[in-house]
Copies of this chain bind each other. A is one copy, B any other.
């Protein structure tokens, strides 16, 4: 296939997107979903006695057989401001004369396009939830395997106190479980059909309005809304914010991975690290970098969807049209992020030795809090902190181990002997609830995954 002379997503899609999600959201899929909506509408109207069943059947057949070119629909749709009229023209021409008046019966363009967008979103989010669960599974495995793998915890960019890699992975895990749960909920409870007619009153349907809405929803396995939502865009906003949460979880992992794979840190390496022809020693964490790049685009896209909720009167003068691209962009990006993060997590090499070496990098200073905790009962909080700070400074200045500085300090040595100091400096003694936190997160994940 020769690429279109104006396409600008071929170079980037493989870097940022998920092929499965892209297929679910592609123009061809969206056009197919519009036709599916027209077919289901005719069928629901037939069931409600509004449309003759033969007409509905004919419309249904035509919808299955039509495969219009999205590029053509786009070009023809420019004068109406959306591609639905051009599609309806084709569909009308494709049914027998006596069924034509029942095509698109009682609907407005927005009814069809909104419903089709919800349909493709339902399929796309199904893939995303699966990929998030893959991420969760990988995190659970890492948390379990490294429940007791010591490493240093870092705050404000600095080494702070000991933790475990399992605890870190458990933190990632909780975010994936939350994100998957949330996205699945929105998928089930908020993706709805749109059907309101020209001004949201279903004028053409007489008394049968809500019956048809429910029939349409049942056929398409989407929710039936209480009222048409032509200018109440909270469903789109729900979808996009829930999707963004998924991206946030991936970005957190990617950010930590970029920092932990730094040459000087070296605690993780990726199976699929990218090479550099010019610099053969490099192991670029390409998946993490692409996830982070995608994450940078989410705030602006979410903001656009928030701003686009401003929709006038019965149908809007631009706000609606402004949603289409960012809505699909968010789902495409989030799909790619989740897929790439799952693969990255599955291929992580965890270097426990390097983690331990980094934990020891400061010669014990990261245990200062633990030492102060031992001194507080006798010295009081303020003095204990001052003494420990003094010893930490002495150790830093001299380059000697923190233990030596502590034992050389008369106020410390009056309280703690060599074994006390060794015990205070033992990282495994200062992990608090890290282990139980891991167990809790993994257990919750297993319950969720059934």
Contact = CB atoms under 8 A, between A and B. Distances in A.
A258 B19 CA distance: 36
Contact of A200 (B167, B298, B318): B167
B30 A313 contact: no
B277 A85 contact: yes
A198 B152 CA distance: 11
A205 interface: yes
Interface string A352-390: 000000100110011011101100110011101100110
Contacts of A49: none
A281 B368 contact: yes
Contact of A12 (B15, B232, B254, B325): B325
A42 interface: no
B175 A234 contact: yes
- Chain A binding surface SS class: helix
A323 to B, nearest CB: 9
Nearest to A82: B15
A153 to B, nearest CB: 3
Interface in A55-85: 69-71, 73-75, 77-83, 85
Contact of A153 (B79, B198, B237, B369): B198
A233 interface: yes
Contacts of A206: 432
A201 B300 contact: no
A432 B205 contact: yes
Given A13-B74, A205-B433, A307-B307, A284 B382 contact: no
A328 B8 contact: yes
Interface stretch (A125-133, A158-166, A215-223): A158-166
A25 interface: yes
Contact of A101 (B377, B389, B440, B444): B377
18 contacts: A11-B83, A100-B382, A153-B313, A155-B198, A155-B282, A155-B314, A156-B274, A156-B286, A160-B198, A171-B227, A171-B231, A202-B432, A203-B370, A203-B431, A233-B248, A248-B309, A255-B310, A280-B393
A411 interface: no
A317 interface: yes
A6 B316 CA distance: 29
A201 B286 contact: no
Interface string A246-272: 001001101110110111110000001
A47 interface: no
Given A280-B388, A306-B248, A201 B9 contact: no
A418 interface: no
B312 A256 contact: yes
A226 interface: yes
Nearest to A30: B11
Given A160-B198, A263-B361, A385 B318 contact: no
A275 to B, nearest CB: 8
A318 B265 CA distance: 19
Nearest to A19: B6
Contacts of A30: 8, 11
B204 A432 contact: yes
Contact of A310 (B75, B207, B251): B251
Contacts of A241: 237, 241
B317 A156 contact: yes
A148 interface: no
A290 interface: yes
A311 interface: yes
A176 to B, nearest CB: 10
Interface in A148-199: 152-163, 167-168, 170-171, 174-175, 178-179, 197-199
Contacts of A261: 157-158
A325 B297 contact: yes
Contacts of A159: 263-264, 282
A325 to B, nearest CB: 6
Which of A154, A256, A263 counts the most B-chain CB atoms under 10 A from its CB?
A: A263
Given A9-B9, A12-B324, A163-B314, 11 more contacts: A15-B82, A79-B274, A98-B380, A108-B278, A156-B282, A156-B284, A201-B434, A227-B440, A263-B361, A275-B389, A296-B304
